[in-house]
Amino acid sequence: MLISNPNGNRKAVVIFSGGQDSTTCLIQAIQEYGVQNTEAISFNYGQRHHIELEKARWICQDLGVKQTLIDLSSTQNFTANAMMSDVPITAGENGVPNTLVDGRNALFLLYAAIHAKGIGATDVITGVCETDFSGYPDCRDVFIKSMNVTLNLAMDYNFNIRTPLMYLTKAQTWQLADELGALDYVQQHSHTCYVGVDGGCGECPSCQLREKGLREYLQSKQAVNQ
C-alpha cells in the first residue's frame, strides 16, 4: 500500500463499524495520517449481531490500529428499531428503513470528539454518506456541519469532521477502496450484512446495496480497460 503522510503529525479518530464504508475510511486515514496517528472508535449500541463488532476488532488488530470500544448498549432500554431487535427490516411510510437508529450519528460523533480531544486529535472521520441512504437524516452533510459547530462550542476546540464518502455512490466507494490498493481487503474482511451472515446473506438491503455497487464498479472498470 502507498504510504503518504500529507497530514504530518495530525491525528485522526475514525468512527469504525467494520463495514465497507468505515473500513475504506480507516484504510484511507492510515495512508493519510500514518498508522501511529490513526485511531478507531467503535460502539456497542446493542446491534442485532455481534459479528459486526468482532470483525471491527479483527480489522483493527490486523491493521495495527488502536481501537477504543464504547458501550452504548443502554440505548436499547429506550429505543426500538430493526437494527437492535428481531423485528423484520421494512421501509417505513416516509421510505426510511426501520433500521434507522434515532440520533445514532450524533451520539457517535459526540463520543468520538470527546475521545479525539483527549488524545490531541482534531480530525474525526466518519463514513456517512447521503447519496445512497438519503433517508437517514443524520447522514446528511447539513447535519454533519451543524454537529461540527456544536462540538466546537461544546468543548471550545476546533474539530474537523471529515466525511470522505459523503457524495460517493456505493460503486464510487468501491473505486476508492481500489485506488487505496484495498479492494480485495475491504471485500474480504468488512461486514455489512444486516442479518449478520458472515460473508453476507446477499439478500438484505445492505448486502444488495453493497453487491450492486461492486458489480457497477467492476463493470465500469472493465469497460475502461477494454
Q: Which is nearer to Zn ion, 162 or 210 (CB)?
A: 210
Name residue 40's beta-bridge partners.
Answer: 14, 67
Nearest to 27 by CA among 130, 128, 178: 178
CA terminus-to-terminus distance, the chain? 26
Cβ pair 213, 187 in contact under 8 A: no
> How near is the Cβ of 92 to Zn ion at its closest, in Å?
19
Q: Which is nearer to Zn ion, 137 or 196 (CB)?
A: 196
**Residues near Zn ion (CB under 5 A), total:** 5
Site for Zn ion in 42-81 (CB under 5 A): none
Q: Which is nearer to Zn ion, 99 or 105 (CB)?
A: 99
Q: What CA–CA distance (Å, rounded) separates 56 from 51?
A: 8
Examine residue 207 and tell whether it contacts Zn ion (CB under 5 A).
yes
> How near is the Cβ of 193 to Zn ion at its closest, in Å?
3
Beta strands in the chain (DSSP E): 12-15, 38-44, 66-71, 123-125, 160-162
Site for Zn ion in 166-205 (CB under 5 A): 193, 195, 201, 204
List of residues contacting Zn ion (CB under 5 A): 193, 195, 201, 204, 207
